[in-house]
Structure 1
């Protein structure tokens, strides 16, 4: 069995950083899978039990040039993640203001020289001041960038910080050469020292805006992190006592008054109320709760005091399971991201190489590039062909270094996934696998399990037919006695009906369930059978044409008929109907409208299945299928070239959910730990399926838009920089804007219409 571990990474700033950490973690012996999310700054590692130590993982991350701030296998401190993000945001804001506080005097000092050619204080003072002020910006607020550049280079995987460090330090160096020239110690050279400080200021501004945007993009998950109650009132030794939620144990009985948050998952043992479960299901209407009902931690009790027995605490609660699922989804890879990852893996070394080639090309072919500079100077005021070949070469090379942006490529997918999965969690849609976002748009057939998906899954007895030799009471008495040992919904409906009729239920022995056919048991030494005609036939009991005809009529009314046999004869029929969910017809119509063909699959007979399908508008039905045969039916559709999504309860349907291209598991209440679904729906209704499809489509659309703009930016801007037509300041501003644009575009996903 694989173990999963989450690690918080410090110091990642671009896609190259994430790729480097991922590569080093994957090389650790025993690690089966490593995935790093730049947007959340977390690494998720999967490995075999006992094969990998924490120290090995931390050393691998440090080898890549980064630090591990904290380890989070599960949410243990709901405020730590939020506090950490706030600290980063405040630090980014402080660095930005520091950089501009020093850079603005640089700009004011440079303006007279740029406009009128007048050097304030003389060339020596001017160049010395530019070096001093830019040096303050680069080595104080920009120190983290330089430190990150050094660590990533030492780790063998240079990142975005390296490009910024090279660009700013190279620009600063030109100022040193110009200063030395005033003392006769170096040849004349155009100084870009002032530009060095501006580049770093723009870079740190981009970091600040990016941190702010990323914080807003993860608002949904942060909201979940801060929802937990801080205290719980429990009954101890007959008295009420307040304790921290962290001290709660399973079995504690909590007192929850109107307006209070329910401290943890539990079961109502006393009282009646309505509970606002919108954080879990997205449903705005409060849900009625009474004795025996499950409640979810962090939901709000509205109007009545409840006594709740804690059933799950800590990592096992609904809220922590949701957060864990969302974080794992955010760390997973979408197939379309693979191409972007391949590019970002070689991006920084390639850009460094291109900058060197650019410099060399300008030096080797000064006339050719000089003509381009002369032409460009006619409409771009920052291009000055009179600077000379060497300064122009530096100008172009610096622009190449600071304009290239792997950040946008690295943020394109995870930021959209972050917003999409957060929105899903708020609406009771848990996207467990990132691949579902891309693959769901390719689905053309959606297979729906009937019981519990299209129908409510709580059948009730509608008809009872007794033979001439038997009575209504005898048929119900014998059937309920046999079914009392069954966990099948039909059996439970029969027993519940007997209880409602206050029918005495005799003791049965030798209970046996025959898969897909029914059940049998001994009552006072006599064998009683309850099930399909095939079960009776296997025991040499003749059902009779008349009873087959009666059953057929019932099945045409969307009822399931079971036969009861005793004394080696069929003594009656009980019809059970599972009510159709109120939203099933609307949801199936919506699925059709977005291009999906719904298919109903059920173990029920053909007539009953067809009757239900007709009511909800499904044309294709697969009936009479045993639980273990559902997988084969999914395979059969796939062999025909269909892309199949399966919707089921995640327990009986687990193999079929796994076989389908996309498995959509329907959970209810606190039952969200369903491993077989790529998507888990907390609400038990079909409209959630439509919302999941719409959310996946909207998220993937944003991913494609982000990748397009990230690629488009680099494809257009880098050639302009190579040709010397892009000022390093504009280049750095454009680079920062491209990353911010990707994050804000992802945030616009929050406006997506998920209505059915």
Structure 2
């Protein structure tokens, strides 16, 4: 036995390892027990001699490999730093889409289609007899067309595995050399078509994912010896200094070395409010510099950027089999054994080689059983990706609609980055109307979300705004303007500190706002603080409807997990119809709440957006990072990343999950019923080997067509 551990693929904290060690159940149990303290998820595939697991973010892959080596007394293995994505075994691989290879396959299938039409017309319309011997034209074409399948079978035989491909290949070769080459051709034709459709569906998913992160940036400015030089983006390398100005898309992940700017990071965190970034802050590719100029030291570019790595992890999900797909594999293996018994039994009972051979053709190709789950799950993932819902594995897709509990974080998940005025507090003899007039006049030409909120609120209150006041926008602080020859400041605490205006006398007022989770904007005339405006983020539109829709679909319990104070959390939960509230929770408290709910209900979903949600997300059966995960930690832990900020996407995800499972069951019914009918007719001598091939054409096309509805359907209701 070769004990070497090979790293087949790595994506953030998810990895797949392969070794002969993983072919033994006892070793897999030992690994699961040994690493239960650091594994978030653990899956095993004995037939592939591989394991897939997610591990804690504070653990390195090198340390995991070292512990495995020590566990099995291995002197050497492949280090994580040198890991590359390897080739999967034939039973669980998904072929990478290649444009040239794809065109060649289409051309080959077109030729096979032309010959299939020729056979059909000759036999069924012209009444001609097609020679079906091994060395006839159809025999030679069948053998050549079967070569891709034969190659996979050879690989399985080398690894001493008797698989579906091995059995099918043997059956097809027997069919060709025993004078049933026409029937063999029909089955091969169907298999080639099925392989093309699977690749097409997978490629649709990849394309939808790629569209989400397409930069559309061809040229960038790089700082060289204090001179900005325009270069092609392909020429960039690590540690280069890239310059970005207002309105430009940032092309790399990096650290700001000079300058400051307001950066729209909606693609990363889904928030409409831009983030003020300054020297030493990190920025990400795909985000937009809305106002300002920054010099960025390149840390990662191209496929190594944060958003690209995230999307690559989603793409890897297409290689991971869901519970339905694994069950389909087990069913297919049982069908192989049953098929052998039925074939022998038919020959012994009837003495008819033709009848036995027809049964063998029916039962030796349970491709429809395998495709029943795989095409439906791939179609569901593709459909979700088109809606901006990125699912990292078929198991997550299936478990969403099986879950009885949905838990939601509040801040940043159910609330937006759009500010709304909740408090107007006068700290002088000025009334609220005058405070709003001052603030709206100063902020009138500022595009910051807080400024827009102030102006909009003043308009709603019919307050006259002086549009002729000149103001200076100070990014990250607020605005400075003049009114009646006096300096007017509207901004945050840092702005007051900048002009040496003390908040000491109003500490209680500001603390009350901040403790309530509100943003404070101060209004000062010269050195006197006139008042303060309190802001909170509005609740995302459709939140209440989402909760109602989930309940209508059968979700038994909907919980709110938040760090807010009890009164605030209870009031929010009462307004929106939550079943339970876990308020004032630390990250560990949220995780404990998940564990508590898992004891009472079947499967729990956790929806969050920040670092403080990751512990709870890791404990849930399905973790969803809302708005593509407000933090890198959240998206690393999550099973599903939702790129838009719409609560209805949660319902859409549930519907895609439910519909995918329904399609799997429909496909099983199509495949099983036609197989049973085919075996019965074959055993009675009513179905020829060619007819058996037609059975495959019927139910395989039916399954493909049924699953393809998922990939192209825009309405999952």
TM-score (norm 2): 0.66
**Residue aligned with 2:232, SS:** strand
- For residues 519-546 of structure 1, the C-alpha deviation after alignment (integer angstroms, 9 at most, x for no partner) is xxxx9xxxx99999xxxxxxxxxxxxxx
Counterparts of 1:432 and 1:626 in 2: how far apart (Å)? 27
2:682 to 718, 721, 729: 721
1:147-189 Cα shifts (integer Å, max 9, x gaps): 5445545544344455554445444555xxxxxxxxxxxxxxx
Q: Quote the RMSD (CA, aligned, Å).
A: 5.5
1:420–1:266 Cα change, 3 Å = farther
Q: Which residue in 2 is equivalent to 1:90?
A: 106
1:245: which partner in 2? Answer: 234
State the alpha-carbon separation in 1 of the partners of residues 176 and 161 from structure 2: 24
1:734 equivalent in structure 2: 695
Cα distance in 2 for partners of 1:306, 1:466 equals: 36
Question: Offset at 1:748?
Answer: 0.6
Return the alpha-carbon distance in structure 2 between the equivalents of residues 752 and 344 of structure 1.
Answer: 28
**Runs of 5+ in structure 2 lacking a partner?**
11-16, 33-41, 54-60, 70-76, 429-475, 479-489, 521-530
Q: CA shift at 1:615, angstroms?
A: 4.0
Q: Is there any run of 5+ residues in structure 1 with no aligned partner, and where?
A: 8-20, 71-79, 115-125, 175-192, 364-392, 468-491, 509-522, 533-550, 563-572
Secondary structure of the residue aligned to 2:407 is: strand
In the alignment, what sits opposite 1:211? 195
Q: Is residue 641 of structure 2 the alignment partner of residue 680 of structure 1? A: yes
1:657 aligns with: 617
1:566 maps to none
Structure 2 match to 1:454:
414
> Secondary structure at 2:220's aligned position in 1?
strand
Q: Distance in 1 between matches of 2:23 and 2:669?
A: 31
CA distance in structure 2 between the partners assigned to 1:276 and 1:198 by the alignment: 59
Give the whole-Å Cα distance in 2 for the aligned partners of 1:140 and 1:493.
Answer: 72
Quick one: structure 1 residues 745 and 239, their matched pair in 2 at CA, closer, same or farther if it must change by over 3 Å? same
Q: Where does 1:544-559 land on structure 2 (aligned, <5 Å)?
A: none
2:359 aligned with 1:400: yes
1:733, CA displacement in angstroms? 2.8
The question of 1:410 aligning with 2:370 is answered yes
For the structure 1 residues 638 and 505, does the alpha-carbon distance in structure 2 shift closer, same or farther, using more than 3 Å as the test?
Answer: farther
Separation (CA, whole Å) in 2 of partners of 1:273 and 1:493? 11
* CA deviation string 1:227-261 (max 9, x = no partner): 46584433242243333537443554166999x98
Contact 1:281 1:683 in 2 (8 A): no
> Contact 1:266–1:308 at 8 Å: present in 2 too?
no
1:221 CA displacement: 0.8
- State the partner residue of 2:58: none
Q: Aligned pair count?
A: 591
Question: In 2, are the aligned partners of 1:399 and 1:728 still within 8 Å (CA)?
Answer: yes
Query: What is the correspondence of 1:161-310 to structure 2 with a 5 Å cutoff?
Result: 161-174=165-178, 193=179, 196-218=180-202, 219-225=204-210, 227=214, 231-237=218-224, 238-245=227-234, 247-249=236-238, 251-253=240-242, 263-265=251-253, 297=285, 309=296, 310=298
| Correspondence for 2:318 | 330
Alignment partner of 1:582 out of 540, 543, 556: 540
- What is the TM-score when the length of structure 1 is the normalising length? 0.63
Deviations 1:662-714 (A, max 9, x none): 32223558845523322222334433323322232232222332333333333
Whether contact under 8 Å (2:361, 2:689) holds in the other structure is yes
Q: Within the alignment, does 1:138 sit opposite 2:142 as a pair? A: yes
Q: Is the 8 A contact 2:414 2:540 kept in 1?
A: no
Correspondence for 1:372: none
Specify the alignment match of 2:711 in structure 1: 750
Residues 1:612 and 2:628 are matched in the alignment:
no
Aligned mate of 2:348, from 351, 357, 360? 360
Q: Which residue of 367, 392, 402 maps to 1:432?
A: 392
How many Å apart are 1:731 and its aligned residue? 1.4
CA contact (8 A) 1:294 1:669 kept: no
2:563 alignment counterpart? 603
Residue 341, structure 1, aligned to residue 329, structure 2: yes
What secondary structure, in the 3-state scheme, does the structure 2 residue paired with 1:663 have? strand
